[in-house]
Amino acid sequence: MSLMANSQDQEIGSSPFSEVLKDLHSQYKSLQEGTVAKYIPELAKVNPNLFSICIATTDGQIYEVGDYQQLFTIQSISKVFVYGQALEDHGRDYVLTRVGVEPTGEAFNAIILDEQSKRPYNPMVNAGAIATTSLIKGNGATERLNRLLEMYRRYIGRDVFVDISVFTSERSTGHRNRATAHLMLNFGMIDQNIEEALDLYFQQCSVMVNCRDLAVMAATLANKGVNPISKEKAVDSCYIKDILSVMYTCGMYNFAGEWAYKIGIPAKSGVCGGIIAVVPGQMGIGVFSPLLDARGNSLRGVKVCEELSQRLGLHLFECAGNW
């Protein structure tokens, strides 16, 4: 384990964040409950002991502990950023005709659509994410993929790549996603080119990141769409409220209500074991631990975020009693 603060060459221990992260990592490192994701064969191979926590502030400070350089596939956390790209490509009014913003209370891979509108319920579940991915502009599959990789670069500050073995594994086992795509095709929510849309969806989920990347991406959302390290604009600030609102109400699947109640900040999880959380105007949080609970959320990640919220007073309604 190592602990450091960088970006402006701060010494270890120069921030209260450093000791908090060190303490939380030590506290939960021994937690061995849960299992790694097994429905995607490549994800079943991951080391369950990997564990890292990172905070990136909106003024460019980074605090890290654990296996923060370990690469893993971003999985469903990608849904947040692809939703933002779809909003930039088409505007919120059009995107709302294809994808709603209501929580489902169902599992992330449930094959369901809204009975009245026939839209996917929200862009944070698989159905909605496939629909938003299908909206990404580009002249053919290669250009669309390159646009998504460029989007990731703006948020992270470095080039990223798709893990081909994970992509192939997801592509060969993604039968529920194909069923969902065909259901949406039936109601006109996506176009005829289902396989191209699904390939792009599997590729966006198979991009390799580390815990530091997650924190910087979250901090970019906290910083009105501007990467606090590179100072590059990643997404138009006018869509930040759309992204964070859906993260807050839908980002943690069928745990979203309890998350909002206990932890109280916008967040998104993925079956990779990653969680991002956004404290608007202040910081982004990234946690990585592959051991998942029954809902597909990182067990250690949820506990770390709950403790951070309590210790640092991060809940959005923490000051409600002083109104």
Cβ pair 271, 40 in contact under 8 A = yes
CA distance 259 to 322: 22
253 has catalytic annotation: yes
User: Which residues are within 8 A (CB) of 5 and not within 5 positions of it... i.e. 6 or more apart?
Assistant: 11, 12, 14, 15, 17, 18, 61, 62, 63, 64
Alpha carbon of residue 266 to chain centroid = 10
The residue whose two tokens read 């069923």 is: 179
Among residues 79, 95, 239, 268, the one annotated as catalytic is 79
Cβ pair 284, 278 in contact under 8 A = yes
Cβ pair 227, 7 in contact under 8 A = no
Among residues 22, 65, 68, 76, the one annotated as catalytic is 76
Cβ pair 253, 262 in contact under 8 A = no
68 has catalytic annotation: no
Ligand-binding site membership of 155 (annotated): no
Q: In what order do the strands lie in the sheet with 267-269?
A: 3-6, 62-66, 52-57, 283-288, 274-279, 267-269
Among residues 65, 101, 271, 279, the one annotated as catalytic is 271
Ligand-binding site membership of 206 (annotated): no
94 has catalytic annotation: no
Quote helix, strand, coil % in the chain, to nearest 5. 45, 15, 40
Among residues 169, 253, 278, 287, the one annotated as catalytic is 253
Ligand-binding site membership of 177 (annotated): yes
Ligand-binding site membership of 94 (annotated): no
| DSSP assignment letter at 283 | E
Phi/psi region, residue 188 (left: phi>0; alpha: psi -120 to 50; beta: rest), is left
Q: Which of 7, 81, 57, 34 is nearest to 223 (CA)?
A: 57
Ligand-binding site membership of 109 (annotated): no
Among residues 83, 201, 239, 248, the one annotated as catalytic is 201
Q: Which of 202, 273, 206 is nearest to 46 (CA)?
A: 273
Ligand-binding site membership of 289 (annotated): no
14 has catalytic annotation: no
79 has catalytic annotation: yes
Ligand-binding site membership of 254 (annotated): no
Residues recognised as catalytic: 76, 79, 201, 253, 271
Binding-site residue set for substrate: 76, 126, 170, 177, 201, 253, 271
